[in-house]
Structure 1
Amino acid sequence: FNYHDRIFATPIITLPIVEKAIEELEWCLERGARCILIRPAPAWGLRGPRSPGLPEFDPFWARVQEAGVLVGMHASDSGYADLASIWEGKTEFLPFKPNPLRLLVMQNRAVSDMMAAMICHGAFTRFPDLRIATIENGGTWVRPLLEKLEGVYKKLPQDFPEHPLDVFRRNVFVNPFWEDGLEGLIDVMSPDRILFGSDYPHPEGLGDPVSFYDDLPSSLPPDDAAKIMGGNLKELLAV
């Protein structure tokens, strides 16, 4: 998974059977993995879907933290098509044929719920050195999630060993889309936690990927711009 310290392939690990997930993680680490991918979704098992933030998954997260490996959470089939189907009935998912309601209901919802579950179920508090990078999920979901977490914290502060916003800003790194703009994201989280990503050659990216730099806020200090464009990821991958 490490090609001359230049290209780092990202193996995918599934969580339902924790012991097997740890075995897969060890296999990946032995082969040079610097980053693994976990689907932002509940882990399905004999008892149905379960939050990966629950204590039953702690042995896996403990080994991830010990290894210092980055966890990527890329946009995936997280099962959220069921949310749209509640309104539209069961319909066929067709490639390159967008559906406005499905896009509205499903876009960014899974990653937001996943981060909420990891915070509310205490995984990030039990493992404060976990590093989660949300990839190809954009950044527009961050502010609404933080506002909701703030609201819940005000009502139930006794259920949070740490302020949830502090936890998010410590453990989570975000890869925004170009069209999101960065001003709003920088308002709610540090440039130290923002990652440039090209998604090249997919259409979500730019024809000239590094031109992303040209649209960074003019008020952004050069050191922070350098972190976003590669410095943060370089540190996360230890290269």
Structure 2
Amino acid sequence: MPSRELPFPLFDADNHLYETEDAFTRYLPEEYRGAIEYVQVRGRTKIAIRGQISDYIPNPTFEKVARPGAQEDYFKNGNPEGRSYREIVGKPMESIPAFREPGPRLELMDEQGIQRSLMFPTLASLLEERMRDVPELTHAAVHALNRWLDEVWSFNYRDRIFTAPVITLGIVEEAIRELEWCLERGARVVLIRPAPAYGIRGPRSIALPEFDPFWKMVEASGVLVAFHSSDSGYQRYTADWEGRQNEYLPFTLQPFREIGQWRAIEDTVASLICHGCLSRFPELKIATIETGASWVRPLLEKLAVTYKKMPHGFQEEPVEQMRRLIHVSPFIEDDMGALADLIGADRVLFGSDFPHPEGKADPISFVDDLAGLGDEAKAKIMGGNLSRLIPV
């Protein structure tokens, strides 16, 4: 039974599945077979991308995982004792069918009191950065993953679990083909990395006119675009400050990295506005997921100052444009009332990050963090807003 009885339905904007070892390789074309491998390193299974062993996810098989919500207290109350990451996370658990398959997950959602959810892959977030200089491989690997997601989870499971296929934008024509393929199979949400797109001529913003054919199709389809936390490549810039190049390791405690951790989503949203994409396609549905809200006020302030100095550089007033078109799923440590005041309760989305350790062990308890808001705002944030974006 749910831990609480609420008078409105819940639509969780941030749920995750754990991929199996063949998720990337089952449908990978023969010419790219060696690009993604699972290898043994001192008795532990690791994933290797293009021959480079990655520690991005400590256990990429997900046979054992951190307990859901293991870091909830850490994120809400800090770490005054100076515990290590391992001490904070605690003892792992065996992965259960609900983390791997939609049927058992639906049963678990019923127990949790969750009516609908967006479902995102986990390990997929390492792919694009490690393949950025070979865009053809990136598109092939993403399509292979999407075929696996569609086969195992489907993109719309009983109008309750909406699994997000990945769209990479390195080659615009390939991105359009991938989007068409996903839409034909019922996708209601797509996952895009908050980062520049890497093509054969290098990186560039996904908001430039070159990508307009893609965004035109997105707008016409009504599909929700979720910019979800990922390896956006910013570790390369952090490494310059630290004097050493190293892999982005999200599950470590690194103060300098933490300071600028949300630059990627701030830059992505700023680009969508400053490069005119949201003005050219004003009906786009955009949500930022698992990127928190600490970047929202600073970006709004920067947009206001910039518009004051150079209004001719914008097609419309940028602050109101952001408030109208960008939906934000905050972290459990964010001030929900302040965010609702800043962008409006209509633009805030409940996301539990279940079953990841950074999120909620009991997703429905997110409503407790909305104690300062009225019932109408709570109903919108806990499900009404996302139901508007993905109606059934």
Identify the TM-score tier after normalising by the shorter chain: over 0.9
Q: Give how far 1:97 is off.
A: 2.5
Aligned to 2:385: 232
Aligned to 1:214: 368
CA distance in 1 between counterparts of 2:371 and 2:321 reads: 26
1:125 aligns with 2:258: no
Aligned to 2:325: 171
Aligned to 2:165: 11
CA distance in 2 between counterparts of 1:158 and 1:65 reads: 26
Letter of the 1:102 partner, please give it.
Answer: R
Letter of the 2:235 partner, please give it.
Answer: A
Unpaired segments ≥5 residues, structure 2? 1-154
CA distance in 2 between counterparts of 1:228 and 1:130 reads: 20
Alignment of 1:123-162 (within 5 A): 123-162=277-316
Deviates more, 1:186-195 or 1:120-129: 186-195
TM-score by length of 2: 0.59
Letter of the 2:384 partner, please give it.
Answer: G
Q: Give how far 1:184 is off.
A: 2.1
Aligned to 2:63: none
CA distance in 2 between counterparts of 1:95 and 1:169 reads: 29
Structure of greater Rg: 2
Q: String of CA shifts for 1:105-150, please: whole Å, max 9, x gaps.
A: 2x11100000000100000000000011100000111000000000
Structure with bigger helix share is 1
3-state DSSP class of the match of 2:232? coil
Q: String of CA shifts for 1:76-107, please: whole Å, max 9, x gaps.
A: 111100121111122444563321111112x1
Moved over 3 A (4+): 91-96
CA distance in 2 between counterparts of 1:215 and 1:79 reads: 32
Aligned to 1:2: 156
1:98 aligns with 2:253: yes
Aligned length: 237
Give percent identity, aligned residues only. 59
Letter of the 1:201 partner, please give it.
Answer: P
CA distance in 2 between counterparts of 1:225 and 1:155 reads: 37
Aligned to 1:39: 193
Unpaired segments ≥5 residues, structure 1? none
CA distance in 1 between counterparts of 2:237 and 2:250 reads: 19
Aligned to 2:121: none
Aligned to 2:262: 108
Letter of the 1:233 partner, please give it.
Answer: L
- Conserved in 2, the CA contact under 8 Å of 1:70 and 1:132? yes
**CA root-mean-square deviation:** 1.2
Q: Give how far 1:217 is off.
A: 4.0
Q: Which has the higher contact order (CA 8 A, sep 6+)?
A: 2
